[in-house]
Amino acid sequence: MYIMKRKYLLISLFSGAVALTACKEKTTTTTDETSTPAETAPAGEPASKIAASPKPTASEATASVTDRAAKLGFAQYIPKNIATYGALYNGKKAFENFLQTAAGAFILERMEDEGMSMDDLLKNEQMAGQLAFYGEEHFVAYGESAPEAVKLGLNLFERVAYYGSRTGVYLADTQVREGDVQIGSPLALLDGPLKGSVKDLITIFAKAEMPAYYQGAKVSDAKQRELLATQIADGIAVLKYIESEAVEEVTLKRAGNDFTGYKISGAKLSETLEALEEGGLLDMAGVIDPADIDVFKTSLAKKNLVIVSGVVDDYVIFFAGKSVDDFVFVDKVENSVCANEKMHYIDSYLEKDILYAGFKSAEMSEGVDSVSSLVFRMIGSAVKGAGKGLSEASALGDTRDVEALLESLVDQGEAMISLFTSTDTGYVAYLEDGIKIESYGGSNMPGIDFTKTNAFAPLESGEGTLLFANWTGNESYNEKVMNYVDTLGETSYLMSQRVAALDIDNGDFLKFKQGLGLFDAQFSKDVMSLWAALRGDLAAGLGAESAVIVDVNGSFPRIPNVPEVILKEGKVPRIAYVSEVVDRAKLKTSWDKINTSAENILKTVSNMAGKEIPMQVPMSSEKNDLKTWFIPLPFQNDDFVPSVSVSDKLFFASTSKKYSESLAESFANGDGYSRKGAWLHVDFTVFNNFAQEWLELVEANADEVFADDSIRDDFMENREKLITAMKAFETLKKMTMHTRREDGRIRISMHLQAN
């Protein structure tokens, strides 16, 4: 969803401030359909210099189950039919390696400055236990019923959103009708906005089952292993303090070892509820329908919870599930997680120094792998609740038009949710030239067009580029998102009008009513026209591909009272957002409409203020095919002036006119890697050099930079610490992340390069 927002909201904030008045050239369209699975070398760059990531296969095995078992540790004992498995390997080794780096040494020094040391921390029993728990191998696994549990959990949150918004409308209606809101009994809510909630919750509870959950850690040190096992067992033992026959101790054998813990019997809990009701100590019938109570007790009687822990060889194991029968270790590697086809991707990485590896089934990912999908689901549930509340309200006036919009919003949201799909996900992190992370599968990411080759790669090649992010949005998806936003905005505005029409004697409400009335009378027409220009001609004029680029080559702006040496030699970051242009004429039309609306709004504000606030007239300059508009600022220079630049192919919103021009030249020259999907590159070396240059500049001119002697002395006193900190983080070199589609699934490769 963020991809479409950037096209309208980001641009409107930037461009609206500049208030362009002209954009006059012809329309052109550029496409590039070259197809590469990952990366193609730029012109003149040897292909051998490209460090290609291993390519896992979706289902074909290239190694034996035994080979995987040798690498994956305890996974060889976990049943094959697991929905999710993940394991951290060699955490202690990675941690110790980090402490040997400059960054690690810096952190240790800072700890010593605070009177702490790593030895002191390791002497702490709890800290030592945590490090041991994650130090060699730590794994988590969820059984095959986990996807259904996740689905029911999401359903629960949706029902909470539904009843929450329904109750909110009820309380507003009550306040308008009665002048005050006083809920004397929960029955008033249960018979009103929460009607049906108990039945819904009981239905969810009846379907819910505790999935098998395994967690374990390899601890080779016998003393530490015993200590950790005792800590876990003691944690489980708190259940014995529940004074109920429903809690009973259990002991069972698995893999030839004793596991001890507790079982909570649903049948006995149900009997306890019966006894409490019969003894008059619990009156659920006074709140809940007796039929629902019976359903709840019947469901409860069928449910159990088993929690046990124990030790197998060097591993401390914790298990929770609905039955002792769910607690299974396999004795043949062919029946283990290592034989699950979802782990076949790991075959490409068995020779690597693996830090983390795991998989997640498509069913487990459904509905939770995408934040956007979750947002649509929660908004949709809340909207349904609000619509139901309005249909039941009696004092809020005629709200049928609002209810119709809410129904449309629900339909649009459900259509958006249907666009999200998930596949089985495999993921691995390994130590190689820093840390590399690969994931294969998961959400289909409908907001990105993975079929088109990005054309903006040349914009990354400039010297001093700190950050480069490049992607091509899926325009069909983006348009659906913006239609959804339109409906959401229209619904909110219409609801605000209906609320403002109510007769409520409240100071805050009267201020709200007056403000909305002023907006309706003075601003609404121009604001709507402004939004229509952004949603219409501007959207049609810009293409799907975008990029954000940041470098550190900008000249310092001529800010008053800044030392001359800083103004001459200081460098500042330059930021540019760029989008492709597909119809330059429509951009001109959009700017004309934006300018007209902006002038009208400013005129209205001037009339209200009682003095004229002149509309700023943008200046323009042109270089080659790129025309730039900007509003003059007192302290600007060509490297620091918020501006908008347009050519036949590119649109820039930038902090620097000069930067836009240089990026346009880079694009015209052509170079760089050819990629599909989304690409992110952060160059920490550039940042470190930038910080070093500033430190040297300030240090060499300390007398001029610091007029106050105490501030200068403080800087010089902390100079060595600053130098140490910068040297410490020279460990980090760069971070890259490439998201694309391979073999019908999403593939993400991330590399944090470090010494």
Q: Which two tokens stand for residue 501?
A: 């029409």
φ, ψ (nearest 5 deg) of residue 76: -70, -10
Average pLDDT over residues 237-255: 90
CA distance 173 to 169: 6
In terms of residue numbers, what domain contains 292?
Answer: 146-160+175-332
The answer, yes or no, to whether residue 325 has pLDDT greater than 90, is yes
Same domain, 215 and 318: yes
Is the pLDDT at 10 greater than 50, yes or no?
A: no
Residues 103 and 152 in one domain: no
In 473-607, DSSP assigns E strands to 542-555, 571-581
86: region left, alpha or beta (phi > 0 left; psi from -120 to 50 alpha): beta
Instruction: Please report the DSSP string for 660-684 in residue order.
Output: HHHHHHHHHH--S-B-BSEEEEEEH
Question: Does one domain contain both 606 and 652?
Answer: yes
- 546 vs 191, residue with greater confidence: 546
Looking at the structure, tell me whether residues 154 and 119 fall in a common domain.
Answer: no
What is residue 42's predicted lDDT score, i.e. its pLDDT? 44
**pLDDT averaged over every residue in the chain:** 86
CB atoms near residue 580 (< 10 Å): 20
Rounded CA gap, 539 and 5, in Å? 11
Residue 347, domain member (yes or no): no
What's this model's pTM, rounded to 2 decimal places?
A: 0.87
- Give the pLDDT confidence score for residue 55 in this predicted structure: 62
Residue 423 lies in a domain: no
Q: What is the pLDDT of residues 616-665, one digit of tens each?
A: 777 888 888 899 988 877 777 878 889 999 999 999 999 999 999 999 99
Domain count, the chain: 3
The Cα–Cα gap between 160 and 53 comes to 44
Last residue of a domain, one of 674, 696, 713: 674
In this structure, is residue 452 part of a structural domain? no
**112 and 180 both lie in a single domain:** no
> 612 pLDDT band (50/70/90 cuts)?
confident
Tell me the average pLDDT across 375-396. Answer: 93
510: its two tokens? 């009267």
Residue 224 lies in a domain: yes
Q: Does 127 share its domain with 182?
A: no
- For the chain, count helices (H), then strands (E): 27, 20
Q: Are residues 202 and 266 in the same domain?
A: yes
Q: How far apart are CA 229 and CA 555, in angstroms?
A: 61
Q: Nearest-CA neighbor of 733 among 51, 112, 37, 134? A: 51
Domain boundary at 300, 332, 364, which? Answer: 332
Q: Is residue 71 part of a domain?
A: no
> Is 409 within the bounds of a domain?
no
pLDDT band at 34 (very low <50, low <70, confident <90, very high): very low
Same domain, 21 and 125: no
Kindly indicate the confidence band of residue 15, based on its pLDDT and cuts at 50, 70 and 90.
Answer: very low
Residue pair 604/523 in contact (Cβ under 8 Å)? The answer is yes
Residue 201 forms part of a structural domain: yes
pLDDT digits (tens, 9 = 90+) for 344-385: 999 999 999 999 999 999 999 886 778 889 999 999 999 999
- At 217 the pLDDT is 96
Q: Does 633 lie in the same domain as 552?
A: yes
* Residue 37 DSSP symbol: S
Query: Which of 674, 703, 738 lies at the terminal end of a domain, its last residue?
Result: 674
Identify whether residues 571 and 662 lie together within a single domain. yes
- My answer on whether 119 and 242 are in the same domain is no
pLDDT bucket at 53, cuts 50 / 70 / 90? low
In a domain, 276, yes or no: yes
Q: Which of 534, 622, 532 shows the shortest CA–CA distance to 14?
A: 534
pLDDT at 299: 94
Judgement on whether residues 13 and 131 belong to the same structural domain of the protein? no
